[in-house]
């Protein structure tokens, strides 16, 4: 199977602190993998490295075989990697549909002169963007809210909107950073179904960071466990569940590792 994303010996320092050490992953096409670990393990840092928010101190990041290490974020998005955020980063003062349309921005094929003069090209492109945005909102059941300001949406719908916005960039790889954070058990179940179905609808490869074990164990095919920037285990959910190192990282060891 084709590899979509590869991280090779990626190491990242914040000053003297080693946040990620020698991280490797080969994500095959169509996979749904999970990345777990206690707080401060370096999971979100991995996402920030992949999406170009930080530049790795050492190592290489390959997307579809091409080196994307150190590229600017918007170029990486253009290449086909989209993400959501652990703490929601919604454009609060924009309407729901505008949140989606911003993500279609770099695919809009008209220039600033077209918008000033309102050329035919402008109208055609705007119509296309609006249609696509509407269809996307429909998949998430948000079409009724499209003209509301995003800040007026309840929390669960904001989570959905953020995923929809990431999908609007037409990614090949979707990075979900704790999508279930702050959701109640019932919302979590419907979110899991949603993640499964969007993978099939949009032909995606998904990498997921999550705290809640039931989400990761429930939907991920393979799981990587991190602690203090190190990869401590890797395998399918069952193997991870019984891994001694993982249990130690989450619950502490029996002998009492002071």
Partner 1 sequence: MRLKRDIKFLLYCLIFYIVIFSLNRYQIIINDYILNIINLSLVYVILTVSLNLINGFTGQFSIGHMGFAAVGAYISGVLTTIIWKINPSNPLNYFLFFIALIIGSIASGLIGFLLGLPTLRLRGDYLAIVTLGFGEIIRTIINNIDYVGGPRGLLGIPKFSNFTVIFIITIISVLVIRNIVFSTHGRAFKSIREDQVASELVGVNTTKYKVYAFTIGAFFAGLAGGLLCHLLQIAHPTQYGFLGTIFVLIMVYAGGMGSISGSIIAAFGLTFLSEGLRFLLRWIDDITPTFTVGIEWRMVVYSALLIIIMLYRNEGLMGKREFKILIPEEEE
Instruction: Provide the binding-site residues for partner 1, judged by CB under 8 A.
Output: 51, 53, 72-74, 77-78, 82-83, 85, 89-94, 98, 101-108, 110, 112, 115-118, 122-123, 125-127, 129, 165-166, 168-169
**Shorter beta-carbon distance to partner 1: residue 126 or 248:** 126
- Residue pair 92/80 in contact (Cβ under 8 Å)? The answer is no
In this structure, the number of other CB atoms found within 10 A of the CB of residue 243 comes to 17
Question: Taking the complex as a whole, how short is the minimal distance between the CB of residue 126 and partner 1, in angstroms?
Answer: 6
- Residue pair 195/176 in contact (Cβ under 8 Å)? The answer is yes
Question: Taking the complex as a whole, how short is the minimal distance between the CB of residue 101 and partner 1, in angstroms?
Answer: 6
Question: Taking the complex as a whole, how short is the minimal distance between the CB of residue 153 and partner 1, in angstroms?
Answer: 14
Question: Taking the complex as a whole, how short is the minimal distance between the CB of residue 55 and partner 1, in angstroms?
Answer: 14
- Residue pair 88/158 in contact (Cβ under 8 Å)? The answer is yes
Task: From 165, 26, 173, select the one nearest 105 (Cα to Cα).
Answer: 165
Residues 6 or more apart whose Cβ sits within 8 Å of residue 189: none
**Shorter beta-carbon distance to partner 1: residue 9 or 124:** 124
**Shorter beta-carbon distance to partner 1: residue 178 or 227:** 178
The pair of structure tokens assigned to 179 is: 């999508």
**Shorter beta-carbon distance to partner 1: residue 10 or 77:** 77
Question: Taking the complex as a whole, how short is the minimal distance between the CB of residue 78 and partner 1, in angstroms?
Answer: 6
Token pair 């002998």 is found at 255
């Amino acid at each position: 199977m084709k590899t979509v994303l590869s991280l090779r010996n990626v190491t990242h320092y914040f000053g003297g602190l080693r946040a990620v050490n020698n991280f490797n992953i080969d994500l095959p096409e169509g996979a749904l993998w999970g990345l777990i670990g206690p707080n401060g393990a370096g999971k979100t840092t991995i996402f920030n490295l992949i999406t170009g928010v930080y530049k790795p101190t050492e190592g290489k990041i390959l997307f579809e075989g091409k080196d994307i290490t150190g590229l600017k974020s918007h170029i990486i998005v253009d290449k086909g990697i989209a993400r959501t955020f652990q703490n929601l980063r919604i454009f609060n003062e924009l309407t729901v549909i505008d949140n989606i349309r911003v993500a279609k921005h770099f695919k809009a094929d008209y220039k600033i002169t077209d918008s000033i003069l309102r050329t035919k090209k402008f109208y055609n492109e705007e119509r296309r963007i609006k249609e696509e945005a509407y269809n996307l909102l429909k998949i998430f059941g948000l079409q009724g809210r499209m003209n509301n300001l995003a800040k007026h949406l309840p929390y669960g719908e904001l989570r959905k909107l953020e995923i929809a916005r990431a999908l609007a960039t037409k990614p090949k790889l979707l990075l979900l950073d704790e999508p279930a954070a702050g959701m109640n058990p019932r919302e979590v179940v419907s979110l899991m179904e949603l993640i499964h179905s969007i993978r099939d609808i949009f032909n995606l490869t998904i990498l997921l960071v999550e705290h809640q074990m039931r989400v990761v164990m429930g939907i991920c095919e393979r799981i990587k466990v991190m602690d203090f920037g190190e990869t401590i285990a890797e395998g399918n959910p069952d193997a991870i569940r019984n891994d001694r190192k993982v249990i130690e990282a989450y619950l502490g060891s029996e002998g009492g590792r002071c």
